[in-house]
Amino acid sequence: MSLDKHNIPAAKTIRSEHLAVASSSSPVAPYCALPVAGPVLITQNKATALPIIEPSDDMTDEEREVAIDDVLQKYLKRMADRTDHHMGYPYNLEFDYGALDGLNKYSINNLGDPFIESNYGVHSREFEVGVLNWFARLWEIDEEEYWGYITNCGTEGNLHGILVGRENLPDGILYSSVESHYSVFKAARMYRMDAIKVKALETGEIDYDDLRAHLLANPARPAILNLNIGTTVKGAVDDVDKVLDILKECGFTEDRFFIHCDGALFGMMMPFLKQDAPMVTFRKPIGSVSVSGHKFVGAPMPCGVVITRFKYVMALSSDVEYLNSRDATIMGSRNGHAPIYLWYTLTRKGYEGIRRDVEKCMRNAHVLKDMLEGAGIKTMLNELSNTVVFERPLEEPFVRKWQLACEGTIAHVVVMPNITISKLEDFVQDYVQSRARVSIAAAKRIATSARLLVEDDSSQAC
């Protein structure tokens, strides 16, 4: 049988072969996926598939409806438990959008430019622009001088900010600290940009001396900088003022650098702090700022906000006849529900409500730090942060139970508005018990080894 040259079977790369399940007889908690062998310090957990319940002759319509409802009820129960034990990731889970349930029957799409309506009429641009104007006031830029949009997540905000920098400075080098979110260097790979990972201080803040050295080593090429307004793991804030001073020292004029501020979580919180802080504001020569909407504000879906100067976005904006609009976004089609959720919360709380939430989080972060230190656990909390860093727990089921984010020998809890003092108390008590179990198990192993040596010595003496 002859084969078409395009139908020759190629060697297969099987996904499951790269997720070799570890042979372990240890019990797995109901909320844990099966442990899978992976790189050092990473426990990969294989996701299971939920089969589609197809109509069939073996099941009546009523039985099928019961089966579907059973799946959904079990899922809702699991979501309630997982939400109740959520500590390691910066999501505000304290929200109630019951008043907006009626929107789910509409396919709301804000495709294209948020400031120019397209021929598609089922959109929420009025809500989106209202939210953008709120953030423009927060970051001190005139409504006529900015451009922005509500993104699908914080990563998209970083992708957009760095793209705007690259389009305005095509020969620029991207500088960002090793503590940056992984999306920053993902952007560099996507855009084929030269990128330099700058060292970080022990606190997680960018190493200013190392940044200066790299800038001086590349004086002929423009600088595109990603500054972290709260790093992913340690919650450290890069000082915008120090970086601006370094750029000036190194001979970089404002037309030869572009600064994107990744404020995923803390960029939303910092304007409301009482203490002095290196504020993020467009009164300084920065190029763009992005935050996540589902983090501090809280939303049932990932979303975010990115704002840049209008003069910069013109480098990648283009007319789209199909839409009868313009587009300078990453994704094109955009979730039109997200702006309504953000508008609803910001309208309900206002600036003062957000300020109270910020103060609560900062206060409770210090409460957690004090409780952990009181239990003999090494802890770190940056002054401008609600991220409490501590020794990485050794029990993987404990990590999975509380959904902790871990890196190397450390883990952290991000104290969000939904995390109460009672929940912090439960967490610390559970952690202390976990450490005790690990210590007791280690003592038993030492005792067992000692007994075996004694028995061996006795047998040799005989």
Catalytic center residues? 385
Q: How many other β-carbons are positioned within 10 Å of the β-carbon of residue 109?
A: 17
Burial of residue 117 (number of CB atoms within 10 Å: 0-12, 13-18, 19+): middle
Please name every residue paired with 177 in a beta bridge, in sequence order, or none if there are none. Answer: 198
Characterize the bridge pairing of strands 288-292 and 257-262: parallel
Residue 436: CB atoms within 10 Å: 10
CA-CA-CA-CA torsion sign (239, 241, 242, 248): positive
Q: What's the residue count for the chain?
A: 462
As a 3-state breakdown, the chain gives helix, strand, coil percent values, each rounded to 5, of 45, 15, 40
Q: What angle do CA 64, 46, 11 make, to 5 degrees?
A: 100
Asked if 421 and 449 touch (Cβ cutoff 8 Å), the reply is no
* CA–CA dist 416, 94 (Å, integer): 9
Tokens 């959008």 correspond to: 97
Q: What is the CA 359 to chain-centroid distance, rounded? A: 21
